[in-house]
Amino acid sequence: MKVLIVGDGGREHALAWKLYQSENVDKIFAAPGNDGMLEIAERVDIDADEIEALADFAQENGIGMTVVGPEEPLVAGIVDYFVERGLPIFGPKKQAALLEGSKAFAKEILDKYNIPTGEYEVFTDPDTALNYLENAKYPLVVKANGLAGGKGVIVASNYQAAQDAVARIMEDKAFGDAGDRIVVEDFIEGEDVSIFALTDGQTILPVTSTREHKAVFEGEEGPNTGGMGSYSPSPYVDQEMMEQICREILRPTLHALNSEGIDYRGVLHVGIILTENGPEVIDYNARFGDPETQVIMPLLAEDLLELMQMTNDVKLKYKKEIEIYGSDAVCVVLASAGYPLTYASGYEIKGLENLKYHDDLLVFHSGTRLENGKYYTDRGRVLGMTVVGEGILSVINTVYDYIEEVNFKDMHYRTDIGFTIPDVPQAPVE
């Protein structure tokens, strides 16, 4: 089978890497892909938002499965368009993807169906929002309603910070039209985890748990990025906790969607805070996360293509569970200094050849350019360094050892990925 992957980041590289292992996959195309994927995929010069052109390519080249990485085309309705043309594609339709495309819609679903989440208010006018925030209890969270690449969430510790957040999102339009509305919600105390599940609209099966670090600096300081690192599984999500999450969040979410007449097929990625009173939802995503995919794919002990086909064909009821290897995985993102704000690119990446000798290391490219046999930085997030092994502390130390073997000008990364794990030293790993 020929597979087309839509997107160009580290998530898409990890998906291509996993699909390449399937005995049913003959060839992989990536649109537009990145140069780090060239060993396993052929790049196609079509951007992820060019839906009609992607469908034309899929039809003309006999693509047996299109896999959508980023959220933007999902929210724009790429799945609906492909289905109308009779083209196989993995991911939720536009109405279902609204769970990620609108924070307000997601909170309405959570509230209507009594799925545990924080209290919230929605505002379309900055002055009304500021009047509310003057008398609000802090800390609280200010979110752009629409898609903001993981960067539109601001934790405000006081009124001044909330005022700045409203100005940035609604007045300065830092995230464009995504800031036409904002959601202001309670700050929920607890451990942050992400749960990934597959659902075919009738059955929902958890894949695994992860923890993502979004802030650009150590200790969760600085602006949010698309993700600076992740690990899997979360030690806070044992079998008992996963069963509770399935019982109180995953299955009720599927019931809520069905009750609303929404047929959700694809990945459901749920951001959860484990509070003293149990798990509470902070957001939904309608696709695999980045960089969480870089730690999920190496741990997935199943054929990814088969899982996607079962999801599309409403056959997940025939699986009792999705099998995961009993290892730990940690990913640290190497970024350009200044990301997610302003940064320079075009610097040579040195040391990549030496990394090939580490059997426990996977290097997923997020933003690189290949020129005359050398790789150069090409955007804010450059590489995802993923190590898989036994024992989370050992894996953390190993990934940081390997990072010392690669460098480029203005390279920046967090030195504390995994610091929230029990029994891992709280000081940054040297």
Determine the pLDDT at residue 424.
66
- Alpha carbon distance 130, 140 (integer Å): 13
Q: Are residues 195 and 313 in the same domain?
A: yes
Encoding tokens for residue 74? 């999902």
- Of 365, 420, 367, 412, which Cα lies nearest the Cα of 396? 420
**CATH number for the domain including 141?**
3.30.1490.20
My answer on whether 241 and 297 are in the same domain is: yes
In a domain, 264, yes or no: yes
- CA pseudo-torsion sign 23, 29, 34, 39: positive
For residues 68-94, average pLDDT: 97
In terms of domains, do 301 and 402 share one?
no
Question: pLDDT, tens digit, for every residue of 133-164?
Answer: 999 999 999 999 999 877 889 999 999 999 99
Answer yes or no: do 276 and 394 share one domain. no
348 belongs to a structural domain: yes
**pLDDT at residue 338 in the model:** 96
Q: Tell me the pLDDT band of 368, cut-offs 50, 70 and 90.
A: very high
Please say whether the beta carbons of 152 and 179 come within 8 A: yes
% of the chain residues with pLDDT over 70: 98
- Please indicate, yes or no, whether residues 70 and 29 belong to a single structural domain of this protein: yes
Asked whether the predicted pLDDT for residue 263 surpasses 60, the reply is yes
Last residue of a domain, one of 72, 91, 110: 91
**Count of structural domains, the chain:** 4
Q: What is the CATH number of the domain that holds 76?
A: 3.40.50.20
Residue 392 within any structural domain of the chain: yes
CA-closest candidate to residue 83, choices 48, 59, 50, 49: 59
User: Residue 32: is its pLDDT beyond 50?
Assistant: yes
Q: Return the pLDDT at 131.
A: 94
pLDDT score recorded for residue 148:
85
CATH number, domain at 338? 3.90.600.10
Residue 375 lies in a domain: yes
Spatial separation of the C-alpha atoms in residues 288 and 343, rounded to whole Å: 26
Give CA separation, 56 vs 81, 114, 197, in Å.
Answer: 11, 43, 30
Mean residue pLDDT across the chain: 95
The alpha carbon dihedral of 160, 164, 169, 175 has a sign of: negative
Confidence of residue 54 (pLDDT cuts 50, 70, 90): very high
Three-state SS sequence of the chain: CEEEEEECCHHHHHHHHHHCCCCCCCEEEEEECCHHHCCCCEECCCCCCCHHHHHHHHHHCCEEEEEECCHHHHHHCHHHHHHHCCCCEECCCHHHHHHHHCHHHHHHHHHHCCCCECCEEEECCHHHHHHHHHCCCCCEEEEECCCCCCCCEEEECCHHHHHHHHHHHHHCCCCHHHHCCEEEEECCCCEEEEEEEEECCCCEEEEEEEEEEEEEEHHHEEEEEEEEEEEECCCCCCHHHHHHHHHHHHHHHHHHHHHCCCCCCEEEEEEEEEECCEEEEEEEECCCCCCCHHHHHHHECCCHHHHHHHHHCCCHHHCCCCCECCCEEEEEEEEECCCCCCCCCCCECECHHHHCCCCCEEEEECCEEEECCEEEECCCEEEEEEEEECCHHHHHHHHHHHHCCCECCCEECCCCCCCCCCCCCCCCCC
pLDDT tens digits for range 267-322: 999 999 999 999 999 999 999 999 999 999 999 999 999 999 999 999 999 999 99
Pairing of strands 368-371, 42-43: unpaired
pLDDT digits (tens, 9 = 90+) for 381-420: 999 999 999 999 999 999 999 999 999 999 999 999 998 7
- Grade residue 186 by pLDDT with cuts at 50, 70 and 90: very high
**Is residue 424 in some structural domain?**
no
- Residue 142 sits in the same domain as residue 170: yes
CB 202 within 8 A of CB 314: yes
Q: What's the pLDDT score for residue 427? A: 46
Residues 225 and 242 in one domain: yes
Q: Which of 318, 347, 376 is the last residue of a domain?
A: 318
- Asked if residue 153 is part of any domain, the answer here is yes
Pair of tokens at residue 64: 């047996």
Assess whether 274 and 380 both reside in one domain: no
Residue 92, pLDDT score: 98
Q: Let me know whether 372 and 408 are in one domain.
A: yes
pLDDT recorded at residue 426: 55
Tell me how far apart the alpha carbons of residues 67 and 311 are, in angstroms, rounded to a whole number: 12
Q: How far is CA 367 from the centre of its chain?
A: 16
In a domain, 218, yes or no: yes
pLDDT of residue 425: 63
Q: Which one is predicted more confidently, 226 or 266?
A: 266
The answer to whether residues 205 and 306 belong to one domain is yes
Same domain? For 308 and 332 the reply is: no
Q: Which of 148, 167, 186 is the last residue of a domain?
A: 186
What pLDDT is attached to residue 9?
Answer: 96
In this structure, the answer to whether residues 147 and 37 fall within a common structural domain is no
- Structural domain span for residue 25: 2-91
Residue 288: phi and psi, rounded to 5, are -65, 145
pLDDT of res. 150:
76
Angle (nearest 5°) at CA 74 between 8 and 19 = 50
Beta carbons within 8 Å of 320's beta carbon, 6+ residues apart: none
CATH number at residue 238: 3.30.470.20
pLDDT of 429 higher than 70: no
Contacts of 287 (CB under 8 A, 6+ apart): 68, 69, 70, 71, 74, 91, 100, 266, 267, 269
